[in-house]
Amino acid sequence: MPPNAPRRGPGRPTKYVKDAKGNDVIGLSSNARKNKAGEIVSYRYYATTNPKIRFGNDVEEAIAAFRRWESDNKQKTIEVQGKPIVLPDGVWTLKRPGDKTGIKISGEIKPIHDIPKSVFWRLVAEVFATEAGRKKAAKLTGIKMIRRIKDASAFPRVLSLLEIGRLHFGKRDNKGVLDGGQAGFDTKELRKAWLYWAEFVQAVGVANAEDVTRDMLVKYREFVAGLQDGKIAPRTVFNRYNQISAVINTAKDRRENHKQILDKLRDDFQVIVRKKRPKIAKPRPTPFDPEDFAAMLDITSDNPKWRAIVMLSLNCGLHPGECAGLTFEDFDLRKGHLWDNRNKTLCQRVSMLWPETVEALRAYLDEFKSTGSYLFLNRDGLRHNSDQFGKEFKRKVCKPAEIKRVTFEWFRDSGTNAASKRGVDTSKVQMWLGHDRGAEIQKYDEPHPIKTQAVVNAIYEEYMSHSA
């Protein structure tokens, strides 16, 4: 090239083979083989920095062979300013004799194998930040391209777990929370979420995202399982794990240069922690006392809506959300039948209705003319939600009747317990509950309200006989 000729531009960026997750395999490239018609018939895979080294025609086998080749040669291919560079495998650190502040860099490098990757990359960035450091690194590694690197920011910086938390929760003084102090969070839930993240940081025992290993995630999972001697509620465990995932996803969206590290952390967390939640014993079913149910009927004698809800929920074993979702099409009051599809199991739930339940429903419908398809509507003329239903039950039924420590879900537990005490066939109880009994059983024993007669009779004997 003549001495005054213009310098060539950087050219097109290097393309690499992508793995099953869509991530670039730095250092592995491919070349398409075409027939005479110009159609691609196969690919050949080779090392980007040395095309003479080839890895066959199958992409998965090529990726595995490339990684074995790097391991056997004790080297690692990285990308700096769009160019692939091969560095000796292992880690590098700096000698800083007599330098306590760490500001001056001597430029001397030696390979060692006992420091984390995050420390390695920070030190490499510091070495490449000075011309003397780049010359020394080029000489030691034999890679002349290192001398031409001008921007040390091309190397990934350390991403601490504390910084990941701040990306999600905002720029607050969160250090006090990690130390057990107070922090100025806007809401109670936000502060609880930060405490979950601080708990995760302390459990894994490392400062940086890149240093989190699978064994550390197992340690965190076992830590959560051991909280409160195994009495922690399943929903609390679920919320804990959801908060950790949300924090990691926020960092992934805001730190593109750390995407690969955060993807690995998120995937490992999903596989090791979220999909293997600690098995926590569910609480035993809690039935009403017959006297409490009689008090509910007394207190709702002048409230047709809630009398109908109380009667129907015990008669048919309904959760609050299921009761709120009932429509007029689910009933045949003339025959005293309930036909309903349960959303949780996608199974048909059926039940006979007591004459008292039919009477309560008719009294409610005579007074309240619903304008929609749902049986029970709130004061705004809309369908109740589950939480709203449960809170109104406590406020309008339990509190006036002076009944404590009772929830709407107890209707279902009470009916199941009464039927079990009287030896009702389990298959009929499952039909009444809307449980999945298996495809074969449901094929030959189709649900029908008449088949639940023994279940509703047992519940009537347990609770309605005291109210008669």
205: left (phi over 0), alpha (psi -120 to 50) or beta: left
Predicted confidence (pLDDT) at residue 39 exceeds the cutoff of 50: yes
User: What is residue 352's predicted lDDT score, i.e. its pLDDT?
Assistant: 96
Residue 284 lies in a domain: no
The answer as to whether 196 is a domain residue is yes
Q: 210 and 130 share a domain?
A: no
Confirm if 149 and 132 have CB atoms less than 8 A apart. no
Predicted local distance difference test score (pLDDT) of residue 277: 58
The reported pLDDT for the residue numbered 417 is 93
The predicted model gives 277-284 an average pLDDT of 57
Candidates 356, 305, 363, 316; CA nearest to 466 is 356
* Residue 9 belongs to some domain of the structure: yes
With beta carbons less than 8 A apart as the criterion, state whether 350 and 447 touch: yes
Question: Is residue 282, in this structure, part of any structural domain at all?
Answer: no
pLDDT at 178: 35
CA 1 to chain CA centroid, nearest Å: 59
- Amino acid present at 140: L
When pLDDT is averaged across residues 451-462 and rounded to a whole number, the result is 95
Same domain, 303 and 261: no
Share of the chain above pLDDT 70, in %: 71
Of 227-236, 262-271, 365-374, the least confident: 227-236
Question: Which two tokens mark 327?
Answer: 């429509």
283 falls within a domain: no
> Token digits for 88?
């000796």
Query: Does the pLDDT of residue 204 top 70, yes or no?
Result: yes
Based on the domain organization, do 83 and 97 belong to the same domain? no
H runs (alpha helix) in 159-289: 161-169, 175-178, 188-204, 214-225, 234-254, 259-272
Q: Global pTM?
A: 0.47
- HSE-up of 4 (CA within 13 Å, CB side)? 0
Helix/strand number for the chain, H first, E second:
19, 10
State the pLDDT at residue 13.
66
Is the pLDDT score of 112 beyond 50? no
Whether 175 and 146 share a structural domain:
no
Quick check: 349 and 341 in contact, CB under 8 A? yes
Q: Does any domain span residue 129?
A: yes
Report in angstroms the alpha-carbon separations of 389 from 306, 308, 309, 327, 407: 11, 14, 10, 16, 11
For residue 116, count other CB atoms closer than 10 A to its CB: 15
pLDDT at 77 over 80: no
Could you tell me if 341 and 390 lie in one domain?
yes
Alpha helices in 400-464 (DSSP H): 410-421, 426-433, 439-444, 453-459
Top-confidence residue, 449 or 35 = 449
User: Among 105, 129, 158, where does a domain finish?
Assistant: 158
Q: What is the pLDDT of residue 219?
A: 86
Mean pLDDT computed over 183-202: 73
Contact 157, 122 (CB under 8 A): yes
Instruction: Give, in order, the Cα–Cα distances in Å from 466 to each of 144, 153, 403.
Output: 93, 78, 17
**454 and 316 assigned to the same domain:** yes
Whats the size of the chain, residue-wise?
468
Tokens 């504390």 -> residue: 162
Single-letter amino acid, residue 152: A
Between 31-45, 99-113, 346-360, 452-466, the lowest mean confidence (pLDDT) is in 99-113
pLDDT confidence of 104, banded at 50, 70, 90? very low
Residues 255 and 390 in one domain: no
Q: What's the confidence (pLDDT) of residue 97?
A: 36
**Encoding tokens for residue 362?**
């008719």
CA dihedral 43, 49, 55, 57 (to 10 degrees): 0
For residue 152, report the phi and psi dihedrals to the nearest 5 degrees.
Answer: -70, -15
Q: Which of 244, 251, 209 is nearest to 224 (CA)?
A: 244
Give the pLDDT confidence score for residue 337 in this predicted structure.
Answer: 95
* Whether residue 17 is found in the same domain as residue 124: no
What pLDDT was estimated at residue 341?
87
**Does some domain include residue 351?**
yes
List beta partners, residue 83: 80
Euclidean distance between CA atoms 53 and 413, whole angstroms? 69
**Tally of domains within the chain:** 4
Encoded amino acid at 349, one letter: R
Distance from C-alpha of 108 to C-alpha of 385, rounded to nearest angstrom: 68
**328-348 mean pLDDT:** 89
Q: Under DSSP, is residue 51 helix (H, G, I), strand (E, B) or coil?
A: strand
Ranges 89-98, 255-264, 389-398, most confident: 389-398
Indicate whether 169 and 314 sit together in one domain. no
Among 70-74, 264-268, 298-302, name the most confident range.
Answer: 298-302
pLDDT of residue 456: 96
Helix (H, G, I), strand (E, B) or coil at 411: helix
For residue 375, pLDDT beyond 60 = yes
Structure-model confidence comparison of residues 251 and 106, the more confident one:
251
Q: What does the DSSP 8-state code read for residue 460?
A: I
Looking at the structure, do residues 385 and 334 belong to the same domain, yes or no? yes
By the 8 A CB rule, do 183 and 174 touch? Answer: yes
Are residues 217 and 340 located together in one domain of the fold?
no
Mean pLDDT within 122-141: 67
To 10 degrees, what angle do helices 410-421 and 426-433 make? 160
- What distance in Å separates the CA atoms of residue 144 and residue 136, rounded to the nearest whole number? 10
In this predicted structure, what is the pLDDT of residue 166?
Answer: 79
Query: How large is the average pLDDT for residues 58-74?
Result: 84
Residue where one domain finishes, among candidates 242, 276, 310:
276
Structural domain ending residue among the three candidates 87, 102, 121: 87
The pLDDT assigned to 450 comes to: 94
Token output for 284: 């035993």
**Average pLDDT of span 112-139:** 60
Q: How confident is the model at residue 231 (pLDDT cuts 50, 70, 90)?
A: low
225 neighbors 278 (Cβ within 8 angstroms) = yes
- Measured between alpha carbons, how far is 28 from 31 in angstroms, rounded to an integer? 11
- Rounded to 5°, angle at Cα 24 from 22 and 166: 80
Is residue 23 domain-resident?
yes
| Mean pLDDT rounded to a whole number for the chain | 77
Together in a domain, 352 and 457: yes
Torsion of CA 51, 54, 57, 61, to 10 degrees: -130
CATH of the domain at 307: 1.10.443.10
Give the range with max mean pLDDT: 72-81, 182-191, 309-318, 322-331: 309-318
CB atoms within 10 A of CB 421: 12
Q: Which domain holds residue 56?
A: 1-87
